[in-house]
Structure 1
Amino acid sequence: MSIELLNPPGLPAPIAPYSSGTKAGNTVYVSGVLALDEAGKTVGVGDARAQTRHVIQTIEKILHAGGVSLSDVAFNTVIVKDMADYAAVNEIYREYFGKNPPARYCIAAKLVRDDLLVEIASIAHVAAT
């Protein structure tokens, strides 16, 4: 099985040796997405809602490059810097995944930069035709 790299235009360059996403067979994997603009600057400093919205919209772009959408997401990994932001992250998350939410887990952990508050990784499946 071949693996297609998904690095759509308009995203920041990965900050480590990885692709923004990959498509293998009927599965699309999205790497942990951070609230970074195209130039690699943090979006929504100090605002977990703004960062979560930016992260999910970036995930949408990567999924689209793999031929799927948010409604095809089967699993998310959510990482928050501080559990005090958990409710704010869930508020925005619910806007995008509220109707039929995928499985997920959420942990609190230090992120790669101090001004980043949330990171989300996704796994989606392409409908069989």
Structure 2
Amino acid sequence: MTNIQRINPNTMAPPGGHYSHAVVANGFVFISGQLPITPAGDKLNNASFEDQATQVLANVQTALEAAGSSVAQLVQVRVYVTDIEQWPAFNRIYQQWAGAAPPARAVVPVPLLHYGFLIEVEAVGVIELLQK
């Protein structure tokens, strides 16, 4: 029987719908699509793309850490952007955030996101790195 744990850290705004910020199952942590919403619940839909991207990645990191994982333990990241022209700006921010061991990644242009946001990020990580 699989043990599934749903995680909604109090250091993040509560989920805006019927989902959990993170779900842990079989050694993996699945991070729901994170939007640029501050821990206080402020929607950054009028902020610059860079500020939105920075907040989204901070939300992903907070959810990972609440699940017992970290950015270094990511295995895949999916990024949704409303303007593919923002890809270079995102890549610079992401490179600093992801560090020396970047996970697999996809950047997907989409026509729009909820609340008029410019970016959304979802991710999959592991709880413990496998020993060789």
TM exceeding 0.5: yes
Partner of 2:68: 67
Contact 1:46 1:117 in 2 (8 A): no
Please, which runs of 5 or more residues in structure 1 have no aligned partner? none
Query: How far, CA to CA, are the matches of 1:101 and 1:49 in structure 2?
Result: 19
1:30-51 deviation digits (Å, cap 9, x = unpaired): 0000001234322372411111
Cα 1:98–1:64 shift into 2, 3 Å: closer
**Separation in 1 of the partners of 2:71 and 2:12?**
18
Identity %: 27
Question: What letter matches 1:106 in structure 2?
Answer: V
Q: Write the distance in 2 (CA, Å) between the matches of 1:126 and 1:56.
A: 18
Find the counterpart in structure 2 of residue 118 from structure 1.
119
Moved over 4 A (4+): none
Aligned residues: 128
Listed as ranges, the gaps of 5+ residues in structure 2 are none
SS at match of 1:113: helix
Q: Specify the alignment match of 1:18 in structure 2.
A: 19
Q: CA deviation at 1:10?
A: 2.5
Deviates more, 1:36-45 or 1:53-62: 36-45
The alignment yields a C-alpha RMSD, in angstroms, of 1.6
Q: TM-score, normalised by structure 2?
A: 0.89
Q: In structure 2, do the counterparts of structure 1 residues 23 and 61 end up closer, same or farther at CA, with 3 Å as the change threshold?
A: same
Listed as ranges, the matches of 1:38-49 within 5 Å are: 38-43=39-44, 45-49=46-50
2:78, 2:107 within 8 Å by CA — same for their partners in 1? yes
TM-score, normalised with respect to structure 1: 0.91
Shift of residue 53 of structure 1?
1.0
